[in-house]
């Protein structure tokens, strides 16, 4: 019986989407679903939800809930990670403290000073998970949704003996769907190749029956001035390939937008929007908890989550092409070999098999390298406990560096380290 473990199962909406997928696959309906969270209330809510779904579907799946992570991971076949270390309080610090220094952020979970500190909080926990898996479930596959995606898998395979880790994210798939809609072509008729770095990958091929659909996209953009007020469209117009991240998210990976008030207005960038999303998520959790407490349950509807699809392919042999974040090792020839890159992957009984891309266009590799440089220093800071690398990561971060002089960057780092305290690696907070 397949043992599927959800780490951070108290993220109820995400867990609901994953379980809706997993439990409605007939081939997975007898699985053991294992839930783990450090928050007892949220873990109990997740257990109630999973148990209700199993009963509602009338299937034979078994549900376990463990506050002890090692008990949850023991004997796992597949592990899905969705943790948020420090919760809403830590995220608010990531926004509020930089804002006092004049640093604007939108989501603060991938790059920027917020992304750096989210990684510094998360990496020690991920190293613990990787070490547990190496001991308790060495043949398992770890699918991780937690950002920063370009840093988390790297920290696991650099900092632990466990290597079978894949980052999964919707951005590439959603961007391909968006582009097909923009040019009015059914997605199933379009040939795509999309690769790069998570949240900054690129649609390298966008064709239908040999027709380059980028030419049609240019016509659509030219005819609609409002499209030219989107960050990702501006990046496309200057670098020649469409990026995979939304405008509000992608704005904070670059130096040209958030540091400038007029550009924030021009491109309609919603500063601090992630805090609104978190508040909506908390309200949704409370609603779902009340519904479960009242015996009404939750809505079960398929969402085609990437981890669920990958697990189904690995268990049944059903071939799929999905995007994964994996160790580069030459998959993208002009990015560092040890970097985590996002590429299309074949998935079947043989597991996740990344596709070699070759070289990116030089301008795209240059932008990706800026992102990877910040991640390299952040991962090393966390694994080696080096505070100097935290300063250096922040100084190299495009948005932070375009906003603040050197001494203010260092002061901001010091204040964030003091605020996050024990959530950070010991050597950094010393």
Where do the domains of the chain lie?
Answer: 362-429
| Per-residue pLDDT at 80 exceeds 80 | yes
**Band of pLDDT at residue 281, cut at 50, 70 and 90:** confident
- Contact of 61 with 29, CB cutoff 8 Å: yes
**Band of pLDDT at residue 22, cut at 50, 70 and 90:** very high
Q: Return the pLDDT at 79.
A: 98
170 is catalytic: yes
Residues 6+ apart with CB under 8 A from 62: 1, 31, 32, 33
Q: How far apart are CA 238 and CA 146, in angstroms?
A: 30
| Per-residue pLDDT at 293 exceeds 90 | no
Q: Which of 325, 11, 331, 342 is nearest to 144 (CA)?
A: 325
Please check if 399 is assigned to a binding site: no
Please check if 389 is assigned to a binding site: no
Residue 79 pairs in a beta bridge with: 5, 142
Please check if 147 is assigned to a binding site: yes
Q: What is the DSSP string of 102-140?
A: T---SS-SSSHHHHHHHHHHHHHHHHHHHHHHHHH-TT-
- pLDDT tens digit sequence for 304-358: 999 999 999 999 999 999 999 999 999 999 999 999 999 999 999 999 999 999 9
In degrees rounded to 5, what are phi and psi of residue 203? -80, 100
- pLDDT tens digit sequence for 387-405: 999 999 999 999 999 999 9
Show the 3-state SS of 254-277.
Answer: CCCCCCCHHHHHHCCCCCCHHHHH
User: Catalytic one among 170, 260, 389, 407?
Assistant: 170
Q: How far apart are CA 399 and CA 395, in angstroms?
A: 9
Q: How far apart are CA 401 and CA 407, in angstroms?
A: 11
Q: Return the pLDDT at 1.
A: 82
């Amino acid at each position: 019986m397949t043992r599927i473990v959800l780490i951070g199962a108290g993220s109820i909406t995400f867990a609901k989407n994953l379980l809706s997928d997993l439990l409605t696959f007939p081939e997975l309906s007898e699985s053991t679903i294992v839930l783990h969270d450090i928050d007892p209330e949220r873990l109990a809510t997740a257990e109630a939800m999973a148990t209700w779904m199993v009963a509602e579907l009338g299937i034979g799946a078994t549900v376990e809930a463990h506050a002890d992570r090692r008990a949850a991971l023991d004997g796992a076949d597949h592990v899905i990670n969705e943790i948020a270390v420090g919760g809403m309080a830590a995220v608010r610090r990531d926004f509020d403290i930089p804002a006092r220094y004049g640093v604007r952020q939108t989501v603060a979970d991938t790059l920027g000073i917020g992304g750096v500190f989210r990684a510094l909080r998360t990496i020690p926990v991920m190293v613990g998970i990787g070490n547990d898996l190496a001991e308790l479930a060495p043949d398992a596959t770890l699918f991780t949704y937690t950002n920063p995606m370009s840093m988390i898998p790297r920290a696991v395979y650099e900092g632990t003996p466990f290597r079978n880790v894949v980052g999964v994210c919707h951005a590439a798939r959603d961007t391909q769907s968006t582009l097909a809609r923009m040019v009015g072509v059914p997605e199933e008729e379009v040939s795509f190749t999309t690769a790069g770095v998570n949240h900054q990958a690129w649609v390298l091929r966008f064709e239908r029956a040999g027709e380059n659909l980028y030419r049609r996209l240019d016509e659509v953009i030219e005819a609609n001035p409002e499209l030219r007020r989107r960050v990702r469209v501006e990046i496309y117009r200057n670098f020649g390939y469409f990026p995979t991240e939304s405008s509000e998210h992608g704005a904070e990976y670059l130096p040209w937008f958030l540091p400038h008030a007029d550009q924030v207005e021009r491109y309609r960038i919603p500063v601090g929007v992630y805090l609104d999303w978190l508040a909506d998520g908390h309200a949704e959790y409370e609603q779902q908890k009340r519904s479960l407490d009242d015996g009404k349950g939750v809505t079960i509807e398929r969402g085609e989550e990437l981890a669920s699809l990958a697990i189904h392919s690995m268990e049944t042999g059903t071939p799929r092409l999905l995007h994964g974040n994996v160790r580069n090792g030459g998959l993208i020839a002009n990015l560092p070999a040890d970097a985590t890159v996002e590429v299309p992957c074949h998935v079947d009984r043989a597991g996740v098999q990344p596709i070699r891309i070759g070289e990116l266009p030089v301008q795209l590799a240059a932008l990706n390298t800026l992102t990877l440089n910040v991640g390299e220093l952040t991962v090393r800071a966390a694994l080696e406990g080096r505070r100097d690398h935290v300063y250096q990561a922040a100084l190299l971060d495009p948005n932070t560096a375009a906003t603040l002089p050197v001494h203010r960057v260092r002061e901001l780092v010091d204040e964030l380290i003091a605020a996050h305290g024990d959530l950070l690696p010991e050597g950094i907070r010393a």
